[in-house]
Amino acid sequence: MSSRYKVSENDVPHFITTTVIHWIDALSRPLYKDIILDSLSFCQQKKGLQLHAWVIMNNHVHLIISAREGSQIADIVRDFKKFTSRKLIDAILNNAQESRRNWMMRMFRSAGTSNSSNEQFQFWEQNFHPIELDTEEKFRQRMNYLHENPVKAGFVWEAQQYKYSSATDYYERRPGLLPLIMIE
């Protein structure tokens, strides 16, 4: 892996993306997005995650994060992905309304069996490509990109209208679904 995609300083905000394998829209239901929210909240409380900005799309998650002293971004992301993959696969398997369950499970199983790092299923792509945001310009560019994702996807007219994002915190100065350490 290139040094461009390694965390060098855990206390500096990093832009990361974690993507569902094959860009499957596996996060399209609120139930699945809520699993992501619960796990991010747990990581904030127990793992040292400092969350600065975020968005949950249907097939990927963008975060701007750093880590409290004594914690490492790579460890937090590893644990987050491991936990959420298990919870999301279980939720998909047990959701009677999930019309794409069999197809998604075939895709997750196929990816899992072809990757020696997995036992059975693979939900997330392997890497998360952290990009250090060591200047205000880099931070603003990535934050705007992250918040504008739902607008670009056609989900909402304005970024702050999207429920699963920190745009409300930044654009309307109201608390959203997760507490943030805002960077102005």
β-bridge partners, 124: 20
- Is it the case that residue 6 has pLDDT exceeding 80? no
Q: Which of 138, 143, 142, 160 is nearest to 151 (CA)?
A: 160
What is the residue-averaged pLDDT of the chain? 92
Give percent of the chain with pLDDT exceeding 90: 84
Q: How many helices and strands, by DSSP H and E, does the chain display?
A: 5, 4
Share of the chain above pLDDT 70, in %: 95
Q: 139: how many CB neighbours lie within 10 A of its CB?
A: 19
Domain-embedded: residue 43: yes
In this prediction, residue 2 carries a pLDDT of: 42
Is the residue at 31 inside a domain?
A: yes
Residue 179 resides in a domain: no
181 within domain boundaries: no
The CATH code of the domain that includes 55 is 3.30.70.1290
Q: Which of 52, 40, 42 is nearest to 15 (CA)?
A: 52
Report the C-alpha gap between 137 and 140 in whole angstroms: 5
Starting at the earlier edge strand, list the strands of the sheet with 49-56: 49-56, 60-67, 14-19, 131-132
Q: Of 3-7, 135-139, 173-177, which gets the smallest average pLDDT?
A: 3-7
pLDDT at 116: 67
More confident residue, 180 or 183: 180
119 DSSP assignment: S
Is residue 39 one of the residues assigned to a domain?
yes
More confident residue, 29 or 117: 29
Give domain status of residue 139, yes or no: yes
Please tell me the predicted confidence (pLDDT) of residue 166. 98
Domain tally for the chain? 1
Give domain status of residue 47, yes or no. Answer: yes
CA distance 38 to 35: 5
Structural domain contains residue 113: no
Task: Give the residue among 56, 21, 62, 24 at the shortest CA–CA distance from 38.
Answer: 56
Instruction: At 17, list the tokens.
Output: 């993306």
Domain of residue 51 covers: 3-96+123-171
Q: What letter does residue 182 receive in the DSSP assignment?
A: -
